[in-house]
Chains A and B, each alone.
Chain A
């Protein structure tokens, strides 16, 4: 029984046990995760997918800060009912500038990946401040404070875009230089709406019809 005697050595030696656990648990990651990280096609943007503008990026980071993703997915599955309800299913190329991804795991509210253009800016404004003003039975929380805070205070936009550029997002020097001016005079809620309105608009033309 050599398997058992090998095991006897492992279970009597701290170093071997540590090494054994590390080895056995790492195999899955090496075989399954590393190839995904090396797959270039997952990093290629769809033809219409652009890096987030300064305003959209600020809105996206507010979406993150407020935890919208605990109730909303951004991942339309390729199922008849789902495409019918939300729109074309999600493609990998649409997410290449998403750090982090915001696919979510729970739909307390509807999927938002194709929400861009579905409602007017004014609808969103009323809805975000008090969802029950438009949908009486809604269980979504209201976000009145977003309409009071100035957007340029929501984070250092130049530092953010510079960090993203380091990671590979193709921002130009002009875009970064212009960023603070872009946020001038906007409230947090304006940037969030700008983000919601561009969601799902990065699809390839022929798919989007």
Chain B
């Protein structure tokens, strides 16, 4: 299979080696960034665990955790799956494969150096946009090139319709580019320092327009692209309702953007902006659940596969957590709930029900699906993958429950006043009562990380030392083939 071929041949086979490399990088970042997550969990129990070293300090490691996961693990996985699926849904080799390789490696370099710069204290502090301006520029350039490869491939497709997964990946690329550029506008002072173009309340509104939609179009939209390709592919069933996916996509793209200011309830931003965000957050529930239902109905006739196939189990379970997180989100944007949840560990629990339950799990399922197919051998160990599944589920559940406990009690105790309007509890006492919850979260993180390490071992045994299988695009059904009038 791994025969050498002339450049003539390679023009019509899929470029899959770059996909393999991106999967490996993604898994590496998952292990590193989750280890950072476990470490900061431990620091909240034993605050001296930074050993007086500035680079181990909680305030610097936390952004390393979030950026490492979202941009290292998450974006590498999105690039891998986008490259894999856009070729197969377009029936052509990647456009400009060398550029795809450049994107893959340039991205890893940005994450590596960017991570080090965070430890060095270079930060804008804007959440998920902490990296300073030299990295912001590099990210913008690589992102645009990623778009060139992706849309270039679609433009050369052999089949008329653009498959739905590609809309989601497309929205990821376009919207994140817009958000990233606008939110990071700043005046540089030195290499590691700049001042935001926006100040105070206005800066807050721009930041959460970005922050919320980074979650929306990267952690939600991008991963829905994964879902729309791999779920039907893997269950061997077409997507349940095409129309529902059309409507849900546009509703999602339209309404997500408005919801950012729900991160700023009761703050000094204009009231109408907050109210609008509540309304749009509630509306958002509809396309979110429509998509989930579409996914669940798609596998509903293939339940028997769930028993034997860990990859499909991960993907289906991830949809359940997606449903949970997208229900909880709109609830938390009601001012009456937000007043309790905001600033507490409830938010952390909400984030991780999406992060662990949805993002990580669907990625794991997708990797277990792709890896054996990419190199043409069975997965090294299905047993280990099954163990991983249970570890991931247990870790996620424990994490969420611990943070709900912590968050709801923080929220209520902070607000509690007695009959004469005096505070019932001091901040210090409430802080001290969090320790059992933080201990549970640490255990949850260790369990989840252990599962991730099992996967890293399993996938490396499957992938390392093997070459990508040569795959040629299958012929296109003439009814859908692009004819002479081929519009791009």
Q: Which A residues contact B (CB, under 8 angstroms)?
A: 7, 11-15, 17-18, 21-22, 24-29, 32-33, 36-37, 39, 42-43, 61, 64-71, 73, 75, 77-82, 84-85, 90-92, 94-110, 131-132, 135, 137-145, 155-156, 159-160, 163-164, 166-168
Q: Is the CB of B195 within 8 A of A67?
A: no
Q: Does B91 contact A (CB under 8 A)?
A: no
- A137 vs B348: C-alpha distance when bound (angstroms): 22
Once A7-B246, A12-B161, A32-B273 are accepted as A-B contacts, the answer to whether A68 and B59 lie under 8 Å apart by CB is yes
Q: Is the CB of B199 within 8 A of A43?
A: yes
Collect the chain A residues with CB atoms within 8 Å of residue B410's CB. 107
Q: Is the CB of A141 within 8 A of B160?
A: no
Once A84-B421, A85-B427 are accepted as A-B contacts, the answer to whether A163 and B415 lie under 8 Å apart by CB is no
Among B451-488, those with CB < 8 Å from A are 487-488
Collect the chain B residues with CB atoms within 8 Å of residue A81's CB. 414-417, 423
Collect the chain B residues with CB atoms within 8 Å of residue A100's CB. 124-126, 195-196, 198, 203, 207
A-B contact pairs, 15 of them (CB 8 A): A11-B246, A12-B160, A12-B162, A21-B167, A36-B269, A42-B200, A69-B125, A70-B62, A84-B421, A98-B200, A99-B198, A100-B124, A101-B199, A105-B127, A108-B431
Most chain A CB within a 10 A radius of its CB, from B198, B250, B254, B344? B198
Q: Is the CB of A156 within 8 A of B62?
A: no
Q: Is the CB of B201 within 8 A of A141?
A: no
Q: Does B347 contact A (CB under 8 A)?
A: yes
Q: Is the CB of B170 within 8 A of A155?
A: no
Measured CB to CB, the closest approach of chain A to B48, in angstroms, equals 7
Besides A66-B59, A77-B266, A163-B194, 13 more A-B contacts (Cβ < 8 Å) are A11-B161, A29-B178, A36-B269, A67-B59, A69-B59, A96-B199, A96-B200, A101-B201, A104-B343, A139-B44, A139-B45, A140-B47, A160-B189
Collect the chain A residues with CB atoms within 8 Å of residue B47's CB. 131-132, 138-142
Q: Does B8 contact A (CB under 8 A)?
A: no
- A33 vs B343: C-alpha distance when bound (angstroms): 23
Nearest residue, chain B, Cβ from A77: B266
Nearest residue, chain B, Cβ from A30: B257
Q: Does B80 contact A (CB under 8 A)?
A: no
Q: Is the CB of A14 within 8 A of B161?
A: no
- A102 vs B130: C-alpha distance when bound (angstroms): 12
Nearest residue, chain B, Cβ from A110: B427
Once A25-B254, A32-B276 are accepted as A-B contacts, the answer to whether A99 and B161 lie under 8 Å apart by CB is no
Q: Is the CB of B195 within 8 A of A79?
A: no
Q: Is the CB of A92 within 8 A of B121?
A: no
Q: Is the CB of A14 within 8 A of B43?
A: no
- A139 vs B344: C-alpha distance when bound (angstroms): 15
The answer, among B121, B123, B175, B207, for a CB contact under 8 Å with A25, is B175
Collect the chain A residues with CB atoms within 8 Å of residue B375's CB. none
Q: Is the CB of A92 within 8 A of B269?
A: yes
Collect the chain A residues with CB atoms within 8 Å of residue B206's CB. 33, 37
- A27 vs B254: C-alpha distance when bound (angstroms): 8
Q: Is the CB of A159 within 8 A of B189?
A: yes
Q: Which B residues contact A (CB, under 8 angstroms)?
A: 43-45, 47-48, 50, 52, 54, 57-60, 62-63, 121-127, 151, 154-155, 160-162, 167, 170-171, 174-175, 178, 182, 187-190, 193-207, 209, 217, 246, 250, 253-258, 261, 263-270, 273, 276, 280, 339, 342-344, 347-348, 410, 414-417, 421-423, 427-428, 431-432, 487-488
- A73 vs B266: C-alpha distance when bound (angstroms): 13
Measured CB to CB, the closest approach of chain A to B273, in angstroms, equals 6
Q: Is the CB of A101 within 8 A of B207?
A: yes
Once A25-B253, A145-B52 are accepted as A-B contacts, the answer to whether A95 and B187 lie under 8 Å apart by CB is no
Q: Is the CB of A105 within 8 A of B276?
A: no
Once A78-B266, A137-B428 are accepted as A-B contacts, the answer to whether A105 and B347 lie under 8 Å apart by CB is yes
Measured CB to CB, the closest approach of chain A to B423, in angstroms, equals 6
Q: Which 9 A-B pairs have the closest CB atoms?
A: A67-B59, A95-B200, A28-B257, A92-B268, A77-B266, A65-B121, A107-B343, A28-B258, A100-B196
Collect the chain B residues with CB atoms within 8 Å of residue A98's CB. 199-200, 203
Nearest residue, chain A, Cβ from B172: A21
Nearest residue, chain A, Cβ from B194: A163
Collect the chain B residues with CB atoms within 8 Å of residue A131's CB. 47
The answer, among A43, A70, A107, for a CB contact under 8 Å with B202, is A43
Q: Is the CB of A137 within 8 A of B421?
A: no
Measured CB to CB, the closest approach of chain A to B329, in angstroms, equals 14
